[in-house]
């Protein structure tokens, strides 16, 4: 078991991905960790997450006092602060960096805030490992399709995050740095499905940026599967990408509306949005390897790549505009994952706040 008896650190662990990651770690699918540390700066989110995993409605003081003795522990801190990061990474074997500013419009209006979290945070992790000569085994950077040919600040900062982590393999010889890159996670906080749920339950209208907009879609469990696959299989400097379907966002809206008399309104593309997303570029297909359910992109740095000339797996870039699911397939995907209005995901969404 790859994570058996490991000290695991999850930065930004109170987010949607972090919560499902913790749930899967506690299930024992990948072994029994020695300790899981959730590191984030929002004490309220930590408080509610702690109660959720303890199955308690309220906390008494001993829950806080016993925090550091438990398998699942919570630590207040900020990836932007080097001192804070240094204190939390020193005992880690495996680090999952899920801390991020990820809302596209927010990053456009506050670009330097995105730089500090999405670039400065990863650099602080690398610097702490390098300067303190720590024995961290693996660091996994969580990236996004928006980092590919980026047109918005969120994507630009995530693209640099990838390079910060992957280059770190040359500076921290005892640590393996890898990344995962994927598209829209169904029902994650701030994503389009909870947004559509809210609009539909209020009677509409449902706002669509443009009828042509497409996105890659995967579940939170598929995102976590990708992270675990990277820990298990990825070589230093590689980026793991799941082979997932894509869909038109308007088809997602129609599937959620079902037969309700809800009006759709076209509002135009928001600041920094793309119409289509890309997971692998034309340049990257020459470094892309087959890993069954995943693609693995070898590092651009020759010291790490170790890939001789290969026959490209793809004929062109891996774009969300290609191989789209039909409206029926989109509906079935949402139904299978209990994402339709009235399904249990709305109750579960309380835990995902």
How does pLDDT run across 79-120, given as a tens digit for each residue?
999 999 999 999 999 999 999 999 888 999 999 999 999 999
Q: Which two tokens stand for residue 108?
A: 């456009």
The answer, as to whether pTM is greater than 0.85, is: yes
Q: Out of 19, 102, 146, 274, which one is annotated catalytic? A: 146
**pLDDT above 70: percentage of residues in the chain:** 92
Q: Is 264 among the catalytic positions?
A: no
Q: Which residue has the tokens 């994402």?
A: 339
Residue 132: other Cβ atoms inside 10 A: 12
List, edge to edge, every strand of the sheet that includes 184-185.
184-185, 214-218, 246-248
Question: What are the φ and ψ backbone dihedral angles of 111, each rounded to 5 degrees?
Answer: -60, -40
DSSP string computed for 35-104: EEEEEES-HHHHHHHHHHHHT-SS--HHHHHTGGGSSEEEEE--TT-HHHHHHHHTT-SEEEE------H
204-253: per-residue pLDDT in tens? Answer: 999 999 999 999 999 999 999 999 999 999 999 999 999 999 999 999 99
Architecture of domain 7-183+219-243+278-318: 3-Layer(aba) Sandwich (3.40)
Cα separations in angstroms, 29 against 4, 18, 318: 10, 16, 30
pLDDT score recorded for residue 182: 95
Rounded-to-integer distance, Cα 208 and Cα 267, Å: 6
Q: Flag whether pLDDT at 344 surpasses 50.
A: no
Burial label, 43 (beta-carbon count in 10 A; 0-12, 13-18, 19+):
exposed
Task: Tell me which H or E stretch contains 176.
Answer: strand 176-182
- Mean pLDDT over each residue of the chain, to the nearest integer: 90
Phi-psi region of 134 (alpha: psi -120 to 50; beta: other; left: phi over 0): beta
């Amino acid at each position: 078991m790859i994570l058996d008896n490991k000290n695991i650190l999850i930065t930004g662990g109170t987010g949607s991905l972090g919560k499902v990651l913790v749930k899967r770690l506690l299930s024992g699918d990948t072994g029994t960790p020695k300790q899981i540390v959730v590191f984030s700066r929002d004490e309220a989110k930590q408080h509610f997450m702690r109660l959720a995993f303890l199955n308690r409605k309220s906390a008494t003081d001993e829950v806080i006092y016993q925090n550091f003795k438990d398998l699942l522990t919570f630590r207040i801190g900020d990836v932007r602060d080097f001192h804070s990061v240094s204190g939390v990474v020193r005992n880690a074997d495996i680090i999952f960096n899920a801390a991020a500013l990820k809302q596209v419009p927010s990053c456009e209006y506050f670009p330097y805030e995105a730089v500090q979290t999405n670039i400065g945070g990863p650099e602080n992790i690398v610097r702490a490992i390098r300067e303190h000569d720590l024995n961290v085994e693996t660091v996994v950077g969580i990236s996004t399709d928006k980092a590919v040919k980026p047109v918005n600040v969120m994507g630009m900062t995530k693209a640099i995050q990838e390079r910060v982590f992957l280059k770190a393999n040359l500076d921290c010889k005892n640590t393996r740095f890898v990344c995962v890159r994927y598209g829209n996670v169904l029902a994650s906080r701030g994503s389009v499905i909870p947004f559509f749920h809210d609009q539909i339950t209020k009677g509409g209208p449902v706002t669509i940026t443009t009828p042509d907009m497409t996105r890659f879609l995967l579940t939170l469990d598929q995102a976590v599967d990708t992270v675990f696959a990277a820990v298990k299989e990825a070589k230093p400097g590689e980026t793991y990408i799941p082979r997932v379907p894509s869909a038109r966002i308007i088809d997602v809206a129609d599937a959620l509306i079902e037969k309700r008399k809800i009006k759709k309104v076209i509002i135009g593309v928001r600041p920094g949005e793309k119409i289509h997303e890309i997971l692998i570029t034309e340049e990257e297909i020459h470094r892309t390897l087959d890993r069954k359910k995943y693609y693995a992109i070898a590092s651009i740095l020759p010291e790490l790549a170790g890939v001789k000339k290969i026959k490209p797996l793809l004929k062109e870039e891996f774009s969300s505009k290609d191989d789209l699911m039909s409206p029926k397939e989109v509906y079935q995907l949402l139904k299978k994952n209990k994402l339709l209005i009235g399904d249990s995901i709305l109750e579960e969404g309380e835990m995902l706040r």
